Chain A
C-alpha cells in the first residue's frame, strides 16, 4: 500500500517535470548534438542543390587554419579574462557598500541594478553614442571644446576593444555584486565582534573573515560571469560589427556571420561546437572548485 503511494507520487512528479524537460530536450540538448552533426557536413544555405555531403573533420581542419577564427578566439579569451576580473573586483566593492546598513540603502541597491536591467542593445547604443567621434560625451570630457583633437574611438582597434570591455563591465558588475552580496549576508556578525575584541584591524577583518567567507559566492559569480562573457554578441554587433579589421571580432559574432550571413551552416557549426566544448570544460572545472569548497565547509 505504502509502496504504491510512493510510486504514484513519483509518477506524478515525472508528469509535472515532463513538459519542461521535453522543451529543453528539443530546443537545447538536441541542437547541441545536431550542431556536431552539421559540423561534419558541407552545407551552404543558399545552394540547396549541393546537398549535404559528409566531409568528416574537413571543416575543423579549415577552422584551425582560419586566421579570423583564431583571432576571434584570442579576442574572446582576452575579453572574458579582462571583463570578469574587473567585474569581480568592482562587484566585491559594490557588494561591500550595499551590504552595510544606512538610510536609502534600498534606493542605492535599485540604482546599482539599473545597468543590469537595461537591454544590452540599449546599453550598446548608449556607449556608442558616448564614444561618438563628433559629439560624444567622452570626447568632450577629455578634450573640452577642442574639436580638432576629438578621436573616433571605435575606429581604433585598441580603443574599440577597450570600449566594449568598459561597456560590459559597466553592465555586468552589478550582477556579480548581487551574487557576492548574497554571500556576505551569510557571514554572522559575532565573527566580526570577536575579531574586534581581539583587536583586529579593519583590514585584518577583511582578509581573515570576509574574504574567506565570501569565496564560494565569488566562485559562483565567476562561473556565471564567465559563461555569460563567452556569449558576448550584442555589444559587438551594435558597436563595431567585429571591426575595425576584426580587432573586436569574437566567436559568437563570427559564428553568427558564417552561419547566417554567409550561409555556411556546416563550417559555422564547427565554431558552435568549439564554443560549447570550451565553456563545458571551464564549467566542469569551476563546478569542481565550488563543489569541493562547499564540501570542505560542511565538513
Chain B
C-alpha cells in the first residue's frame, strides 16, 4: 500500500513538472539579459530585468499585436456566443425538424481540415474586400468556433428543468423573452464556459491569421510571434517576452476556471 502511494505521488509530480517546466523555462528566459540568454551553463535565476519586454514593445510593436488579438478574439467570442445561444437553445429545448442533421453538420465543421477551405475562404474575403481587416478574420473564426459554442451551450441548456418554458409562458413571456430573461441567466455558468473556450481558440489561432492578415498593422499576436526576426540572430529574449504575454492570460484562465474548462471540453465531446 505504501509503495503504491509513493509511486502515485511520484507520477503526479512528474506529470506536473513535465507540463509546466518547458513554459516556465521560456518565461524565465524572458526575464534575462541578452548575455544570460546565451550563456552556457544556462542561468537558472535571471536578473529579473524587463529589458526584453521593453524592447519587444519598442522594436517589435508588441502592443499593436496585442490590440489586434484583443479585438479579433473579443469580437469572435461575442458574436459566436450570441449565435450559439440562439442555436443551442433551439437544438436543446424546442421541437424542431432535422435536429440530428444540424448537430451532425456542426460537429463535422469542427473537424474540417483548415486547408480544405482555406483557398475558397480567401477568395470570398478577397471578393468582399475583407482581406487585411478585422471582420475578414472574425468571420472564419466565428464559423470555426460555432460548433464548439453550440455543443457546449446545448448541453448546459438541456440540464435545466423542463418546466421552465411552461411556467414562463403561463406568466405571458414570449419565446425570446423566455430565452434571455430565464434560460440564459440560469445557464450563465455554461455561457461563461463556452465563452472561455471560444476566446482561447480565437486568441491562439494561427493558420487563418497568417493567410488573411498579410499587413503587419492587422496581424494578431500568434502571427507576430511566429514572424519575429532579428537583424543577425534570432531575438529569443523578445520572442520569449511576447510569448509570455500571450500565454499568461490563458494560464490565469486555466487556474481560475479549471473545473469549468474540464466540464466544457468533455460536454462537447462525450455527452452529445
Q: Which of A35, A106, A113, A126 contacts B119 (CB 8 A)?
A: A35
C-alpha spacing A227/B18, complex, angstroms: 25
Tell me what chain A mostly uses at the interface: helix, strand, loop, or mixed.
helix
C-alpha spacing A272/B123, complex, angstroms: 14
C-alpha spacing A108/B113, complex, angstroms: 32
Interface assignment of A92: CB less than 8 Å from any CB of chain B: no
- B204 and A140 contacting across the interface, CB-CB below 8 Å: no
Tell me what chain B mostly uses at the interface: helix, strand, loop, or mixed.
helix
Stretch at the interface among B52-60, B184-192, B245-253: B245-253
Contacts of A47 in B (CB 8 A): none
* Closest B residue to A226 using CB positions: B111
- A121 and B106 contacting across the interface, CB-CB below 8 Å: no
Contacts of A17 in B (CB 8 A): 86-87, 90-91, 96, 102
A170 to chain B, nearest CB (A): 7
Q: Which of A6, A231, A234 contacts B95 (CB 8 A)?
A: A6
Q: Given contacts A117-B250, A122-B225, A234-B206, is CB(A112)–CB(B269) below 8 Å?
A: no
- B22 and A126 contacting across the interface, CB-CB below 8 Å: yes
* B54-110 at interface with A (beta carbon < 8 Å): 83-84, 86-87, 89-91, 94-97, 102, 105-106, 108-109
- B246 and A122 contacting across the interface, CB-CB below 8 Å: yes
A270 to chain B, nearest CB (A): 11
B52 to chain A, nearest CB (A): 13
C-alpha spacing A283/B142, complex, angstroms: 23
- A94 and B15 contacting across the interface, CB-CB below 8 Å: yes
* Closest B residue to A141 using CB positions: B42
C-alpha spacing A178/B262, complex, angstroms: 6
* Closest B residue to A115 using CB positions: B19
- A119 and B95 contacting across the interface, CB-CB below 8 Å: no
* A253-287 at interface with B (beta carbon < 8 Å): 255-256, 259-260, 265, 268-269, 271-273, 275-276, 279, 283
Interface assignment of B170: CB less than 8 Å from any CB of chain A: no
C-alpha spacing A231/B112, complex, angstroms: 9
Contacts of B246 in A (CB 8 A): 119, 122
A214 to chain B, nearest CB (A): 11
Interface assignment of B258: CB less than 8 Å from any CB of chain A: yes
- A13 and B94 contacting across the interface, CB-CB below 8 Å: yes
C-alpha spacing A9/B178, complex, angstroms: 13
**Residue ranges of A at the interface with B (Cβ–Cβ < 8 Å):** 6, 9-10, 12-14, 16-17, 19-21, 23-24, 26-32, 34-35, 38, 93-94, 97, 100, 102, 106-115, 117-127, 129-130, 132, 134-135, 137, 140, 144-145, 147, 170, 174-175, 178-179, 181-183, 202, 217, 220-221, 224, 227, 230-231, 233-234, 237-238, 251-252, 255-256, 259-260, 265, 268-269, 271-273, 275-276, 279, 283
The 10 closest A-B pairs by CB, nearest first: A182-B266, A31-B120, A31-B117, A13-B96, A34-B120, A27-B143, A13-B90, A16-B90, A276-B116, A119-B204
